């Protein structure tokens, strides 16, 4: 499998702890009652949830998901960068775990003070300090599969990778840019990041390999600072829309070039051949005719009640 020779596999783990435990109590009539007990302030787990999201973003930035193996496929030329970034995130996760464990008992005590009627249940349900530290762990490993692996199902999944990479790029743009149309340098940084991912997977499909050149063509038309308006904004929007359409990207990306971009002349109204070369009237030459004047100039049948105009949400 040539694809696997050009990539490494990345697996990461960020184990989470829950602030809620379910306990069971025996009531009258041998009836078992279950209820959830909050052990500590759940907001204290926010750093772990944030770092787990960052790990996913990092994996999507450098690789594409290979579902059959539950791993991310990362091109060899980006493996070192991915490894370095994941090591930083894993270390931050471990540091956060150490800080959390140092105050874990104090957090449980504070919850007992705030809810004295549940204090006994809270203390009984709270896991030991060593168990908490064992749960809050993160790891990452990069590796290559041995060449003798020849699974038919895996080969089929590898064949679908170009479409998957294009879909992940589109989703990354939607997640990072939202639905706004105000373009800044941050917008261009997101486009650069997506183009870099496409280029690194260029060996999968020629249209992916062509994306960095397309983005370079866009950047060459723009000044270094935003916000961008007019023709510049239109071209940014055109490229974003193109990259957010995986099917079109793979079908047309290889052959697209300057034709994708909007030119200043494209924004001018078209003229009839018979009127080409004639000068446009100046504002003082414009003729304004009112509805009343039009009505007096021609015989117009008497009209009935006027229907309300249809609502038009948007043309865009």
* CA–CA gap between residue 237 and residue 247 (Å, rounded): 18
Residue 146: its pLDDT value, please? 74
**pTM of the shown model:** 0.71
Are 24 and 140 part of one and the same domain? yes
Query: Is 132 in a helix, a strand, or coil?
Result: helix
Query: From the CA atom positions of the chain, what is the Rg in Å?
Result: 31
* CA–CA gap between residue 122 and residue 111 (Å, rounded): 8
Are 136 and 7 part of one and the same domain? yes
Span 187-236, pLDDT tens digits? 999 999 999 999 999 999 999 999 999 999 999 888 877 678 888 888 89
Structural domain count of the chain: 2
Are 136 and 217 part of one and the same domain? no
Is 308 within a domain?
no
Is 250 within a domain?
yes
Span 5-44, pLDDT tens digits? 889 999 999 999 999 998 877 666 556 678 889 999 999 9
Span 78-111, pLDDT tens digits? 999 999 999 999 999 999 999 999 999 999 999 9
**What residues pair up with 143 in beta bridges, in sequence order?**
9
* CA–CA gap between residue 116 and residue 108 (Å, rounded): 12
Phi, psi of 182 (to 5 degrees): -100, 115
Residue 286: its pLDDT value, please? 36
* CA–CA gap between residue 98 and residue 129 (Å, rounded): 11
Phi, psi of 229 (to 5 degrees): -135, 170
Are 8 and 105 part of one and the same domain? yes
Question: Which of 157, 181, 198 finishes a domain?
Answer: 157
Contact 64, 165 (CB under 8 A): yes
Percent of the chain with pLDDT over 70: 76
Is 283 within a domain?
no
pLDDT band at 180 (very low <50, low <70, confident <90, very high): low
pLDDT band at 302 (very low <50, low <70, confident <90, very high): very low
Q: Is residue 248 exposed (0-12), middle (13-18) or buried (19+ Cβ within 10 Å)?
A: middle
Span 106-154, pLDDT tens digits? 999 999 999 999 999 999 999 999 999 999 999 999 998 776 665 556 7
If you average pLDDT over residues 254-263, what whole number do you get?
74
């Amino acid at each position: 499998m040539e694809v696997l020779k050009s990539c490494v596999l990345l697996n990461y783990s960020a184990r989470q702890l829950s602030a809620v435990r379910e306990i069971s109590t025996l009531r009258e009539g041998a009836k078992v009652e279950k209820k959830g007990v909050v052990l500590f302030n759940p907001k204290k787990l926010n750093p772990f949830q944030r770092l787990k999201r960052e790990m996913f973003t990092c994996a999507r930035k450098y690789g594409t998901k290979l579902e059959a193996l539950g791993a991310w496929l990362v091109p060899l030329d980006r493996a070192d960068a991915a490894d370095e970034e994941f090591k930083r995130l894993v270390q931050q996760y471990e540091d956060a775990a150490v800080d959390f464990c140092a105050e874990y008992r104090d957090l449980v005590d504070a919850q007992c003070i705030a809810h004295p009627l549940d204090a006994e249940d809270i203390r009984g349900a709270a896991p030991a300090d060593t168990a908490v530290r064992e749960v809050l762990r993160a790891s990452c490993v990069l590796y290559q599969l041995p060449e003798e692996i020849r699974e038919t199902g895996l080969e089929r999944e590898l064949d679908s990778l170009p479409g998957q990479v294009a879909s992940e790029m589109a989703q990354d743009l939607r997640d990072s840019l939202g639905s706004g149309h105000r373009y800044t340098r941050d917008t261009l940084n997101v486009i650069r990041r997506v183009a870099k991912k496409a280029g690194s997977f260029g060996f999968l499909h020629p249209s992916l390999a062509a994306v960095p050149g397309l983005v370079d063509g866009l950047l060459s038309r723009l000044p270094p600072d935003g916000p961008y308006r007019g023709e510049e904004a239109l071209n940014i929007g055109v490229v974003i829309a193109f990259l957010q359409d995986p099917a079109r990207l793979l079908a047309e990306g290889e052959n697209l070039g300057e034709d994708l971009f909007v030119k200043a002349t494209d924004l001018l109204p078209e003229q009839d051949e018979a009127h080409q070369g004639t000068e446009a009237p100046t504002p003082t030459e414009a003729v304004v005719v009112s509805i009343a004047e039009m009505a007096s100039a021609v015989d117009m049948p008497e009209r009935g009640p006027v229907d309300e105009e249809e609502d038009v949400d948007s043309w865009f």
